[in-house]
Amino acid sequence: MHNSALGYINGFAITPPGRYYDKGYRELFAEVALKALEAAGNPDIKAIYVASALSELTGEQLAIGNVLRDYAGLRNIPSIRIENGDGSGGFAIMTALNHLASAGNGCMLVVGVDKPHEVISLKQNKYASYLLDSDYEAYFGATPVALAAIMAKQYMRSYEYKYEDLATWAIKMHERGAKNPYAYFKRAAKLKDVLDSELVADPLRLYDVSPFVDGAAALVLCSKPNPNDLAIGVINYGFGASNSYFASRNDYTVLSSVVEAAKAVGPLENFNGVVSVHDTYSIFGVLALEALGLCKRGSALRLLNEGYFDQGGRVMVNLDGGLKAVGNSMGASGVYQMAGVVMQLRGDKPFNGLNAESAMVEDMVGVDQESVVFTLRVVK
């Protein structure tokens, strides 16, 4: 069955997300790249894919792949930077898989790295607005969280939910993050904590927003599995797009790009395993579950509150705490997501005894501009 996968994740490494004032892009990249290569048995690498959304803004560096690989001692290996906003990581993995297919044999190194905390929060939020249409949205003050708030308000009104229902997402993510040594937020939250937190964009509160973090994550993708480790293969992927201009969309209660990506993967309603969704805002996590076909439209919050997506269920969502607890490392976030589900499939601490054999990862650009969905499996 080894030829049934598009590629195998033969090694991975992540830095605990945080605020790295003592490390730059170079140090973070080298740390995870070299650890991932060592875990994979130090194979020959045909190319390095660097996912970074902010390198020229917070690192003042273009063509950053050349600088990073040279610093890490990975000389004479071609590097390609992938920039697609906070979906850069997922699209870098997709591009590396395509390269792997065309090469027919060998390995690719994918590294996501970003440092939002090189600048003050005012600039962080300004840079986040660059995910929108700069001329027709960001210029007039629109921000991703404001658009997410519109989606949350329409969803709750359409399906008769209260904010307390939506608050369950943050509560569950913090509960899971408290058990994850690689989470940025390791503190559980109660409903009162969420309700008392600052209103960011009505109805979304501070606990509905994933925090910006510095970090790096790396994967070694190979055409053949590592004979000395559990074989985890990327079985399929699909990607899709929505209207870039928010006001031109017909329905704010659906993530159209995720729907299209899920269609490209194939029917997912019978999926059984672990799922990682790109919850930059709590409403995005909820809508992603419906867009992936894992539940009917309008039912995700009810099922979430009933424990349907908890550990031990048929569909287990964001067991690491998601971006809400792990943190939003922008261009690196999709690589963190992939590394997270690999840890879950392997049963690494804190996921001991999980015994999951299938996984799904959904990574999204901005406010439903584009999305990519991967399915993975333990290949025996």
Give residue 136's Cα distance to chain centre. Answer: 27
Per-residue pLDDT tens digits for 270-295 = 999 999 999 999 999 999 999 999 99
pLDDT of residue 322: 98
Report pLDDT for 1: 41
pLDDT at 3: 54
Q: pLDDT tens across 120-169, in order?
A: 999 999 999 999 999 999 999 999 999 999 999 999 999 999 999 999 99
3-state secondary structure of 325: helix
- Mean pLDDT along residues 356-360: 97
Please report the pLDDT score of residue 380 as a whole number.
83
Query: How does DSSP classify residue 345?
Result: H
Q: Evaluate the omega torsion of the peptide bond into residue 43 and state whether it is cis, within 30 degrees of 0.
A: no
Q: How far apart are CA 193 and CA 312, in angstroms?
A: 26
pLDDT tens digits, one per residue of 300-343: 999 999 999 999 999 999 999 999 999 999 999 999 999 999 99
* Cα 151 to Cα 287: distance, rounded to the nearest angstrom: 9
The answer to whether residue 252 scores a pLDDT higher than 50 is yes
DSSP 123-139: HHHHHHHTTS-TTTTGG
Q: What would you report as the CA-atom Rg of the chain, rounded to the nearest whole angstrom?
A: 19
What are the helix (H) ranges across 23-140?
Answer: 25-39, 55-58, 64-71, 88-103, 121-129
Q: Is the pLDDT of residue 53 over 80?
A: yes
Average pLDDT value over all residues in the chain: 96
Q: What pTM was estimated for this model as a whole?
A: 0.96
What angle do the packed helices 64-71 and 25-39 form, to 10 degrees?
60
Q: CA 179: distance to chain centroid?
A: 19
Query: pLDDT at position 353, please?
Result: 86
Both tokens of 162, joined, read 């209260």
Q: CA angle 288-208-52, nearest 5°?
A: 70
Domains of the chain: residue spans and CATH: 2-120+213-222 (3.40.47.10), 136-211+232-378 (3.40.47.10)
Q: Is the pLDDT of residue 369 over 60?
A: yes
Q: What is the pLDDT of residues 59-111, one digit of tens each?
A: 999 999 999 999 999 999 999 999 999 999 999 999 999 999 999 899 999 99
Residue 286 tokens read as 């909820």
